[in-house]
Every structure is written in C-alpha cells, then in structure tokens.
Structure 1
Amino acid sequence: MLHQALAGIKVLDLSRILAGPWCTQNLADLGAEVTKVERPGHGDDTRGWGPPYLQDAEGEDSLSAYFICCNRGKRSVAIDYATPEGAARIRALALEADVLVENFKAGTLRRYGLDYEALKALNPRLVYLSITGFGQSGPMADKPGYDYVFQGMGGLMSYTGHPDGQPGAGPLRTGVAVVDLTTGMYATSAVLAALLRRHATGKGEYLDIALLDVAVALNANQASNYLVSGRAPQRSGNAHPNCAPYEVFRCADGHLILAIGNDAQFARFCDVAGRAALAADARYATNSARIENLPALRQLLADVFPTRTRQAWTDAFDAAGVPWGPINSMEEVFAHPQVRHRQLVQAAEHPTLGRVPMIRNPMLAGAGAPPCAAPPLLGEHDAPSPA
C-alpha cells in the first residue's frame, strides 16, 4: 500500500509554519517516521495561530486547527538547537536520519554546526532539504519571507482580483497560503527524487527550495502567456484568461461556474440556453473569437442566466454534457456525496484530546482510508527525565 511506501525512512523535521510541515506531513502520510523538533516551551508558531483550538476536557492540552492541518503522524521533541547540548542532540538524530527538513533563514544552522556540510560529514546518505524565502544565494538570500509576500512578489496578485473600474477592484491574495502549500508539494517531490537517486548512488543530496522560485513557477500559463506575447496578464475577476465563457454567473437564486473548454461545449451550452444562433455567430463561434468579444458575450449571458434557477440550469447542463460547478460553503463541501464517498475526512484518536478531524491526503485515495496518527502535543515524545 502507498501509505507504507516510505516505511523505514526516518525524517528529522526542523521546519515550522506551513511549507516545511506540509512536506513532512506528506512524508509521514507515506509511511516515514517523522520527528518534529520544536522550541521548548513554545513550539511551532502555528500552535498559537487560533482560535479555533481543539482542547481536552480540562482545557489544559490543546492543538490549534492550523497546526492540526499540517502536522499529523509526527512525533514531537523539544530541543533548543542554539545550546551546545541541543545541537549535539540534533546531530545525534541526524546521524540516524534519512532526510532532514529545515526552513530557517539561510546560514542560521551553520552557526551551530547543523548545516548540510557538517551533517554530511557525519551521515553521507543524508538528504538535506532547506526551504527559504529566496534561496541560499543571491542579493536577497538573507531575508525572511511569508507566503503573502510571495503571492505579491511572484506576480500572482497582479492578475488576481476584479479589473480596474469595477466594484472592489484591486489585487487580491488567494484564500489559503497557496505558495507555502505548493512549496511543500515541490519539496515532497524533490525529497522523493533524492531518495530514489540515493538508492542508485548511495549518497545523499542537498536540496535548495525557495518560495520565490515556486511563486514564479506557479504562474504557469499566465507566465507563459506573458513570455510568448510580451503582454502582462491583467486582473479579470472570475474569468479565465484563455477560455470563454469560463467564469461565475448569477442565476435566479444563486451562482454557478460555467466552464466551457471548447467550441463543441459552447454549442451545447447555447442549445440549452435557447441561444443556438450564438454558436454560429462569427463573434462567438471559436474560443479565440469569444475571448476577443468577451465583454459583449458576458453581458448576453448575464441577461440569460437569471431567467432560470440554478437547479434548472444544472439539470439541463448535466443532460447536455455542459461543464459547470457549484460554489460550495465548507458545510456543503463536507456534506457532498462525492466527498463522503472519497472519505476525504478522517480522524485520529489522541490520548488526551480525543477525536482529531483531518483532511485525507489526496495521494492516498482509494478504497479504505489508511489509519493515521494525530498531531502531537509539544514535546509529547521526549524521553522521560531520569529519576
């Protein structure tokens, strides 16, 4: 089973917040033994990023919902790496580790003899992953950075939001830390590739993953559009830059997403909408023409959609094979029959906090959700002090 693919792999997790923990949670979900090193008395910053918190009956032990989302299946030990004793403990753990993940500012761990070169001398098979804002070199390598900064700096916010002249115009960030999360996924892939290469060479590797690099790569087709055309993408609200109509429309009693990906789908939509002539109109017959004439097309459709309820539209779309989607609340998401069928919500039992609800890792889809361990309390797996 995939959830045991990394059984026997030991991961030393010195990361905190989201990008690093997202990576190491993926590794834990795939069966690795992940030991999370946290600052004594404080721990990962996200332990305090609440409310909401999950608490025990006495209100003594607690986990923030934010911490829960990216730290399941890990052990927690409290070590101050800045002390000689703490650094020695880290080195001892690194000696037995297959992977080390850290996201301190470039050069921080070198001051304590915990950088890659120092630990490589002890453990040549170690895969050492550093996640930073700007990478290990360059004019900004010494600067910290958060997801929000890179959503702006990497270009994402320049074309996200309503166009100028419309109500609420201006750049917007995404509703989740998408650069952090994507960095965690790129980091996971890099670690798995390094482990595969180590299997062939017997040697570890140093991995330098930067949030800025990920933010730029995340632009995907928008970046490609710019590089090919020389024209910067503009804010287009809910509209797609390359497909039309591909956006949100208001029905008589709510909203839906119309997602037309080709001309045949547009023709079927026009039949459903009672506007078959639009599919033959040179202004709208092809996707390129629809993009060129999108303001006029958008107004036509804005007049058509309010003539029916959302259910009436979606029933007709399903029958005709027209792509559409709802805009669900969280309550609707987790009540959806397909979400329930895919078992996307799972829970683990914690000895003091009881049932801890979590989202199943999409890599582990299939029949039967594999068991998982709850996120740890701070220092939960420290060895007991000698009597």
Structure 2
Amino acid sequence: MCAGSTLIIRESCESAGTRPSRDKMLLRAVAATRFAGTLRPGARRPPRLLRAQSSRASARPGEENIKPLDGIKVLDLTRVLAGPFASMILGDLGAEIIKVERPGYGQTGPMSQSPGYDSIASAVSGMMHITGPEDGEPVRPGVAMTDLATGLYTHGAIMAALLWRAKTGRGLHIDCNLLSSQVACLTHIAANYLNAGKEAKRWGTAHESIVPYQGFKTQDGYLIVAAGNNKQFARVCKVLNLSHLSDDPKYKTNTLRVQNRKELLQILSQRFSEKRTSEWLGKFEGTGVPCGPINNIQQVFSDAQVAHNDLIMKMEHPTAGKVVIPGPAVRFSDFKINKPTPPPLTGQHTAQVLREMLGYKDDDIEQLLKAGTVCQNKQPLILSGVAASQSQAQRRTRAQGDTPREGCQSVARHPQQGSNPRPTPQQAPAKPTAPLHKIMTVFH
C-alpha cells in the first residue's frame, strides 16, 4: 500500500485459458452489485458496495452519512472471490473501488508462481483433510471458505495499514494469500499437532473432544445439539426422557462420554429419530442447551431472524430484471449502507475512465477505440461535451456492456451517487507519458 490514500489489492487469478464457473460468476456479480454512496459536500463521491438499507443502521438525525473509509481509493484488479470480497467490504465502509493480481501462495517462496484457487488452497492447507464424515473421504467445504477467509483477512489488514499510516506517516505493503489465510484458520487443529504431534481426523458434524456435540437425524430432518458441559448434558437427557444416562458412571463426565462416544450416540440417535425437528426444538426451548435445526437454503432465507437482520436485498437490473442478493453481515449505529443499484457492466465507462482518470482527450479516445486497443459498450462514444449535459439520473443508472472483443481492453466503473461535475478537458490531468499497455494493465 502506498503512502498516499490509494490502496492496491492483489490476488491470484484463474489459470489462463479457463472460464469461470457459473457459480463463481454469480458470486462476482453479487460482489460487483454493491457500489454507491455519498461524501461530505464538495468532496469527490466514491462508489461503494451496495447493500440494502438497514432499518436500524442509520445516521443520526441531521448528520451526514459519513463512512469510515470515505476518501480512500482502492485499486483492485482481483478476480474470482477472495480479492473482490475484501473490496466489497471496503466499499461498504465508503472506499472508492477502482481495481492487481498475484499468486495465491504468497509473493515469495517455492509455490509463489502457482495459480491460486480456493479448492487447491483448501486441500494444501489441510482444511479438506479435516472436513467430511468420520469414515469417509476428504470433502471440499460447500462454499469457498478459503477465498472468503482471505478476503476478511485482507480487509482487516488494510484497516490496520490505514491506522499504521495515520500513526507513522508511512504506507505498508501487505502480503495476504490463500494458503496463509487458511492455515491460520486451523487454530486448535494446528496447535494440537504443533505441540503434541496429534494428527487431525474427520469428524463429520461431531466435535472431537466434546460429546454430545453434533448433528442428529430426526423424523423429518436434522438438528444439532452442543452440550458443552455436564450440566447441559443432564438437561439433554431430561429433554429426551433419558435422565438415567446423566447418572450412568460411563457418562458422568465429558472425558468418559468421549471414551464411550459410540455407545452413547447410538442411544441418543435412536431417541432423536422418534420426533420431528420442530418438536425437539420446542422441547429444548428455555433449557439453556445450545441447539438448532440444520437448515437447507430455502429454510435459511425463510427464517424470521435472517429477514430481521436485513440479510436479503432486492434490486432491479437493466437486463436481468429483479435480482435478490445476500445482505451485509455487519451493521453500524451511525451510518447506513445504501440501497443496491445495478453494477456497471464491462466497457460502459471506458471513455470516462480514460478521460477523467488518465487525462486522455476525446480525439485520442476515439483513435484507441477505432484501433481496438480499448472497447466501449454498444453505444455511441460519450464525449466530454455530451457527458456534461447528461442528467443526474442517467449518470446513476449507466449499465455495462457485453464482454469485450478478444484482444482489446475495456473499463467498467461502478456508478456513483451524486452529481459532482466532471472535469473539462482543460481541468483533466496531463496525459501520462508511460506506454499505453503499461497504463492499461490496471484494467485487465
């Protein structure tokens, strides 16, 4: 990260010649969907990641909606999920996201030039080894946990670097990679091996050192019970009408329950299978025993608490129509996150970025377009004079175009809320002297 107010985020990209899966494209679309925002009067208004407006996370009456990262620019050329996920969070906090890619194993070392994928890092880091049924094969987690963890670590590292800069006046270079992020998440698994030489194994939904602490099949589904101490175990036995088990010498302590795990779980599993999930949850209500249903995705988004936490957002996309996406995990007391608006599509703002950020004149932009060096969306070139006369509403709803032609560059910029005047050609910065291909690599 440089010493100014521009951050550079780098992340590994997919191998050359491969196409992203539909799921990954949707994940990127979710991340790209959340940009917008406002700043104090007279300041440049940064785009930020769009979320549904929280009913409770609103600014105080009479105060502006000032966010922690207002005025911070993020140069993000990442792909897939880890980098964009970090940028998404930074954008939620007010940063302007503009878009750099490095290998997924760190920037030095024997694997530094290997392509970084969530599934590979999950395997190499040991996460896949400890995931899956006890007697089964290793299992890849259902979501890209390594990518997501890396994004969260990156977000936290950037926030720390900003504080470092405020205290020292110096910037930092951050190396946050997939492998390191996932190995760091091994926590007690890593500690058990490093200190006691204990190799980890797969436990399915169970806990290796606490019993009962796992999922159970019911008459119509599954639930999970986490009895973390002897008192909670006694309450489980009472709910199941198996109170004699809590007094059984074989199960009096957790150590004994772990030793006699198989026999105890057979008894508990049989009893749980006799009633429906909702019946058991009702019986556990008020007992102080942690438990809950193992929901499918439909059940997740039908949950009243999920709706209450504003975790479902809706927006209208100009080509896809109504789009529903997950909301933010965190809400804040003194500022709100904006309602979602459509993300820009590829090539929509090529001319705007070349003109306003790199200082190119309209004639130069036209020549680049004709030569195929850059691409513009399927619309007439928006020259500076024409753009200045566009309505504020038009500026807010600019949409991206189709995928650019092979061999040319295109620029997509997230929409900005507000109507700060665009700089005229006289106000634009001097045209950079660096070769065009070096400048344009930031838009790959």
Whether 1:303 aligns to 2:274 is no
Distance 1:177 1:3, change over 3 A: farther
SS at match of 1:325: strand
Amino acid at match of 1:287: N
Distance 1:257 1:8, change over 3 A: same
The count of aligned residue pairs is 291
Whether 1:151 aligns to 2:122 is yes
The structure richer in helix per residue is: 1
Show the counterpart of 1:363.
330
Amino acid at match of 2:129: S
Report if the CA contact (8 A) 1:15-1:21 is conserved.
Answer: yes
* Bigger mean CA offset, 14-23 vs 355-364: 355-364
The structure richer in strand per residue is: 1
Distance 1:368 1:328, change over 3 A: farther
Show the counterpart of 1:320.
287
Deviations 1:221-241 (A, max 9, x none): 222222333111111121112
SS at match of 1:383: helix
Q: State the distance in 2 between where 1:212 and 1:198 align.
A: 27
Show the counterpart of 1:32.
95
Equivalent residue in structure 2 for 1:11, among 55, 74, 83: 74
Q: State the distance in 2 between where 1:211 and 1:30 align.
A: 23
SS at match of 1:205: coil
Amino acid at match of 2:325: M
Amino acid at match of 1:155: G
User: Where does 1:231-242 land on structure 2 (aligned, <5 Å)?
Assistant: 231-242=198-209
SS at match of 2:191: helix
SS at match of 1:300: helix
Deviation at 1:174, TM superposition (A): 0.2
Distance 1:373 1:225, change over 3 A: farther
Whether 1:198 aligns to 2:175 is no
Show the counterpart of 1:128.
none
Distance 1:373 1:262, change over 3 A: farther
Report if the CA contact (8 A) 1:245-1:259 is conserved.
Answer: yes
Show the counterpart of 2:7.
none
Whether 1:21 aligns to 2:84 is yes
Q: State the distance in 1 between where 2:144 and 2:154 align.
A: 15
Amino acid at match of 2:112: A
Deviation at 1:368, TM superposition (A): 7.0
Larger radius of gyration: 2
Deviation at 1:163, TM superposition (A): 2.5
Report if the CA contact (8 A) 1:256-1:325 is conserved.
Answer: yes
SS at match of 1:358: strand
Q: State the distance in 1 between where 2:254 and 2:200 align.
A: 18
Distance 1:382 1:355, change over 3 A: farther
Report if the CA contact (8 A) 1:342-1:365 is conserved.
Answer: no
Deviation at 1:350, TM superposition (A): 4.1
Q: Which runs of 5+ in 2 are unaligned?
A: 1-58, 60-64, 353-364, 367-382, 384-444
Q: State the distance in 1 between where 2:66 and 2:143 align.
A: 26
Q: State the distance in 2 between where 1:374 and 1:199 align.
A: 34
Deviation at 1:28, TM superposition (A): 0.6
Alignment RMSD, CA only?
Answer: 2.1
Q: State the distance in 2 between where 1:383 and 1:351 align.
A: 21
SS at match of 1:258: strand
Deviation at 1:329, TM superposition (A): 1.8
Report if the CA contact (8 A) 1:258-1:323 is conserved.
Answer: yes
Deviations 1:314-342 (A, max 9, x none): 11101322211112122111111111111
Show the counterpart of 2:350.
382
Deviation at 1:180, TM superposition (A): 0.6
Show the counterpart of 2:101.
103
Amino acid at match of 1:382: T
Distance 1:287 1:379, change over 3 A: farther
Show the counterpart of 1:286.
253
Deviations 1:80-139 (A, max 9, x none): xxxxxxxxxxxxxxxxxxxxxx233xxxxxxxxxxxxxxxxxxxxxxxxxxx32111112
Equivalent residue in structure 2 for 1:257, among 213, 217, 224: 224
SS at match of 2:219: coil
TM-score, normalized by length of structure 2?
A: 0.62
Q: State the distance in 1 between where 2:337 and 2:180 align.
A: 34
Equivalent residue in structure 1 for 2:215, among 233, 248, 269: 248
Report if the CA contact (8 A) 2:312-2:325 is conserved.
Answer: yes
Report if the CA contact (8 A) 2:225-2:291 is conserved.
Answer: yes
Amino acid at match of 2:86: C
Whether 1:162 aligns to 2:225 is no
Deviation at 1:349, TM superposition (A): 4.1
Show the counterpart of 2:106.
135
Distance 1:163 1:241, change over 3 A: same
Q: State the distance in 2 between where 1:305 and 1:172 align.
A: 26
Show the counterpart of 2:372.
none
Distance 1:365 1:274, change over 3 A: farther
Equivalent residue in structure 1 for 2:181, among 214, 236, 258: 214
* Bigger mean CA offset, 25-34 vs 363-372: 363-372
SS at match of 1:4: coil
Q: State the distance in 2 between where 1:373 and 1:194 align.
A: 30
Deviation at 1:202, TM superposition (A): 2.0
SS at match of 1:356: strand
Q: Which runs of 5+ in 1 are unaligned?
A: 37-101, 105-131
Distance 1:196 1:230, change over 3 A: same
Deviation at 1:381, TM superposition (A): 2.7
TM-score, normalized by length of structure 1?
A: 0.70
